[in-house]
Amino acid sequence: MKNKIKNSCINEFDPTALSIENAKNRILKTIKSSTKVEKIKLKNSLGRIVSKDIRSSIDIPSFKNSAMDGYALNISHLSDKNNMSLKEVGISYAGKPYRNNLKKGETVRVMTGAVIPNNSNAVVMKEMIRIIDENIQFPKNIKKNQNIRFIGEDIKKSSIILKKGKKINYIDLGILSSVGIEYADVIKKPVISFFSTGDELISIKKKLKKGQIHDSNRYLLYGLLSELPVSIKDMGVVKDNKNNITKKFIQCSKISDLIITTGGVSVGDADYIREVLNEIGKINFWKISIKPGRPLAYGKIKKTSFFGLPGNPVSTVITFQLFVIPAIEKMMSSEIKNKLFISAITKTNLSKKKGRVEYKRAFLTQTKNKVFVETTGLQGSNILTSLAKANCYIKLSANINKVKKGDIVKVLPFTNNL
């Protein structure tokens, strides 16, 4: 009689492991969007999430102006096709407008962005005119409204310029300042605390002894969180001791909206994270059908959400990008971004076991209008160097076991927020 194989993190196929989509949906259903709002100066709002629709109080442009250096005229003032000349009667500079209407036979020299006379209906660029006996000679092919910027053609008064949930970028700063907004109402930063677990982890300041490793995961998490509009609390390293881990979780739950740990969520004898969380909180799930990154715990301690990420650094990064970022976006009432996959030709043969989705670290290039991709080295979940060399992931679905060189594969390019 054959021994039954116990489902664990070493088996490729595990019927109890959730799919990526199912896990993400279960996470997002339990996350409540924040209603905490604060008003901050515009110059401090980069990267923050807009808490309500922002409308413009003015038109942009707020006056009819010239799109280039040239001459403003009313086409009807040109007497006929054989007499295309007008007299210059003034100059309109940006910020110093010519305020009169044009009379018949008149034109005004205008600078880019300068006000043009109300009754002008075309601007001819200066390179297209000739000056003959103090008269301005115009070309014959002038079109109505050419080179004119009209009131409200960019932004109309009372229109929405930024929608609720939008992450403010540098372009938004330009738009908001252009309509005279000095302060922005944004979602208050959620508090994210994190810590690592493991007797083998020591500070980067200390010399390694046999069996010890530097705690790189906390630095990975700090870097990943620093790119998000959140308040970060680094809670250090906790040894593999159930009592210490329990105290740390309780401490974090009192001050945080979200807790993240790395390590201790697998099936080892010293992995206490799941045991502690089952006692002081509730685990929603702890395994997902993905490689690398299967042992991922998610749940709550009272109102505080937690993620128990895998201990291997590459698994930490991938699970953070795929699951933690959407959770934080939902928490901040932000737009949850869909992943942008592209198709690429693999330059190498690829293989994996069937049973779960696999993300391979890879490098994406383009040659002669074709997009190619190849893996960046060893794919073990502890190999950070192959992630450092990569600019994308190759996503291989659960039912695939081999891909031949020259086949088309799905690729997820790296961005700040995958």
Here the tokens at position 88 are 């210059």
pLDDT tens-digit series, residues 366-405: 988 899 999 998 888 888 888 889 999 999 998 888 999 9
Pick from 123, 149, 175: which residue ends a domain?
Answer: 149
- Note whether 273 and 401 are same-domain residues: no
Question: Is residue 71 located within the same domain as residue 130?
Answer: yes
Q: What is the mean pLDDT of residues 220-234?
A: 93
Instruction: Answer yes or no: is pLDDT of 220 > 90.
Output: no
Place of tokens 């009689």: 1
Q: How many domains does the chain have?
A: 4
Q: Establish if 374 belongs to a structural domain.
A: yes
Centre a 10 Å sphere on the Cβ of residue 168 and count the other Cβ atoms it contains: 21
Q: Is residue 325 part of a domain?
A: yes
Q: Are residues 259 and 180 both part of a single domain?
A: no
Give 383: exposed, middle or buried? Use CB within 10 Å, 0-12, 13-18, 19+. middle
Same domain, 278 and 197: yes
Tokens 């080892």 belong to which residue? 268
State whether 354 and 389 are in the same domain. Answer: yes
- Is 389 a domain residue? yes
Residue 160, in any domain of the structure = no
Contacts of residues 130-135 at CB distance under 8 Å and 24 or more positions apart, as own/partner, are 132/85, 134/87, 134/88, 135/85, 135/86, 135/87
Do 28 and 44 reside in the same domain of the chain? no
- Domain-embedded: residue 263: yes
Looking at residue 204, which CATH number applies to its domain? 3.40.980.10
Same domain (yes/no): 202, 297:
yes
Is 14 part of a structural domain of the chain? no
User: 271 and 196 share a domain?
Assistant: yes
Q: Which of 305, 331, 357 is the last residue of a domain?
A: 331
**Cα 216 from Cα 227, distance rounded (Å):** 17
What are the Cα distances from residue 348, in Å, to 155, 193, 404, 405? Answer: 50, 41, 7, 5
pLDDT bracket for residue 270 (50, 70, 90): very low
CA distance 155 to 58: 8
What pLDDT, on the 0 to 100 scale, is given for residue 20? 87
**CATH at residue 349:** 2.40.340.10
Nearest CA to 220 among 262, 189, 191? Answer: 262
For 42-75, write each residue's pLDDT tens digit. Answer: 999 999 999 999 999 999 999 999 999 999 999 9
- What would the two tokens of residue 289 be? 């059908």
- CA 122, chain centre distance (Å): 42
How far apart are alpha carbons 175 and 372 in whole angstroms? 38
Same domain, 219 and 177: no
71 and 112 assigned to the same domain:
yes
381, 282: one domain? no
DSSP strand pairing (85-92 vs 408-413): unpaired
> Are 312 and 208 within one domain?
yes
Cα 145 from Cα 75, distance rounded (Å) = 10
Q: CA 175: distance to chain centroid?
A: 19
Say which CATH number the domain at 104 has: 2.170.190.11
Which domain does 89 fall in, by range? 65-149
Q: Quick one: pLDDT at residue 9?
A: 45
